[in-house]
Structures are given as C-alpha cells and as structure tokens.
Amino acid sequence: MSGGDRSREVARRGVGAVRVWAGAEPLRVIPAVSAVLLVLVQITYPLSAGAARDRITVAVVLLTVATALLHAVTTRGVRWAAGFFVIVSGLGLLAEMVGTATGHPFGAYSYAVDRLGPALADVPLIVPLAWTGGLYPIWIVAGLLTDATTVWRCGVFVLGAVGWDLFLDPQMVADGQWTWRVTDAGLPGLPQIPYTNYLGWALVATLMAVLLTVLDRLLPPARDDSVAVPVAVFAWTWLGSTLAHAVFLGLPASAAWGFAGLGLLGIPLLARHARAG
C-alpha cells in the first residue's frame, strides 16, 4: 500500500469510528460540538486585547460551562447536571462573595467588576459559572483515576482544582480581571498571588467534593457514561494552557506551575490510556 493509500485508509477508518461513536448515542455529538467551539474561541484569546479580550473571556466561560452541562445532561441526566451546577456554582459564588467581603478563605482581593458583565456583591456572575465549567472535567478525570473510590476521588479532585487555578489566577491577574492586596507572598515566579489563595481553593474544593459524592450516591449513573468530551477538555486545558502561557502570554512561571499541578492528574491519565492501548 502506498503512502497516499495508507493515509486515505487511516482517514476512512477515522471517519468510520466517528460515525459509530456518534451513531451509538447521537446526543454525544452536542457536547462535542460545544467543546470544538470552545477550543476555537480559546485560540483567539492570546491574539486579542482590551474589550475584545474581555468578550472572549466571557465567551470562553460560557462555552466551558455549556460543554460541561451538555455532557452531564446527555450522560447523567438533567437532575444530576442541575445538582452539579447548584453545588459547584452555588458554592463558588458563596465563596467568592465571602472572599471579596472578608478576605477569607482566599486572601484579600477584588474584581474589576466593570469588565465581565453583571455582578452580585462585587463578584461578576460569570465567575461562578467558570467554577462549574472548569471543575467538571476535573471531577470526571478524578473518577477515572480512582475508579470513583470516594476518599481518593475527593483528594484527587482537590489537587486538580488547585492545579487548574495555577493557570487561571496568573492569567486573569495579568489581564487585570482581579487584583490581590498582598502581592509578594506567593510561589516562586508568582509572588503576586498569595499562598492563601491555594489553601482557599483546596478548602472550597473539598466541600464541593463531599457534596458531589453525596450527589453521585443519590443519583447514580443511569445513562451512557462516555467521558471522551470532558477528558479531551481536561487534556486541552492542561497542555493547551501550558503552551499558551509559555509561548503566547509571556507567563512562563504559571506555565511550569500549572503543567506540574494539573500534571498530577494528567500524567496518570496518559499512563492509564497507554496501558489501555
């Protein structure tokens, strides 16, 4: 078989595999399309500035949460998806409101509330949506890595949440979306974000993990349990953010810290897939 024939055969098999995947459960296509749009919009972020970047930030969050909830609805059902949203966005909003008002549990910080749309108690409402969109893939991956064993899954989820914030906080602080009162008490290369922020994330993520475990017990999986979309979003967040921070955004420290932080989940995930062939 020539090189051209081999390429065409690989392409044919790839298209066939996609058709089988979509045909087995047509609803799978919906979150997949949303995920593709998410990636395309995120690619434009480093190329933008000013008000255009703010609009892209909002669009990225909306597509992230849409992908998460569409996947949750099509695989776990509407009630589970609603429960996940209420737990994560609800706790996220509460934590942010308490945090901006009191400085606990993250440390003292404030949002640029005039840039990301409507706000409640000085917290842009897009922020709690970001909690749902960003943490959903981490919850799914944590379940894969621990076979959904309760205590271990909660611990891995907390590690992943903090790892994700090692990308998120430096990027948003560099863009002026929020600022910290203490700017010299952070990780090497990231002094502008205090250690208390990561401790706060760990605390809030732990509460979320406990409630999500209860949700899983009350509403166990009853539909297709395909995880291709959230796993792909997780991998894109991990590796794509590393590339973007290191090359396009001029944030090499957060590229290294974020790669290492999410790598605590990403590397075992890659190993798991390698073992599975």
* Per-residue pLDDT at 147: 86
Decide: 145 and 269 in contact? Cβ < 8 Å: yes
> 40 pLDDT band (50/70/90 cuts)?
very high
Q: Is the peptide bond before 105 cis (omega within 30 degrees of 0)?
A: yes
pTM over 0.75, yes/no: yes
Which among 135, 185, 188 has a CA at the least distance from the CA of 162?
A: 135
* Per-residue pLDDT at 248: 96
Instruction: Give me the DSSP letters along 227-255.
Output: -HHHHHHHHIIIIIHHHIIIIISS-HHHH
* pLDDT of 262 strictly over 50: yes
Q: Which residues contact 132 (CB under 8 A, 6 or more apart)?
A: 65, 68, 69, 84, 85, 88, 89, 92
* Per-residue pLDDT at 149: 83
* Per-residue pLDDT at 36: 96
- Residue 41 in tokens: 């919009």
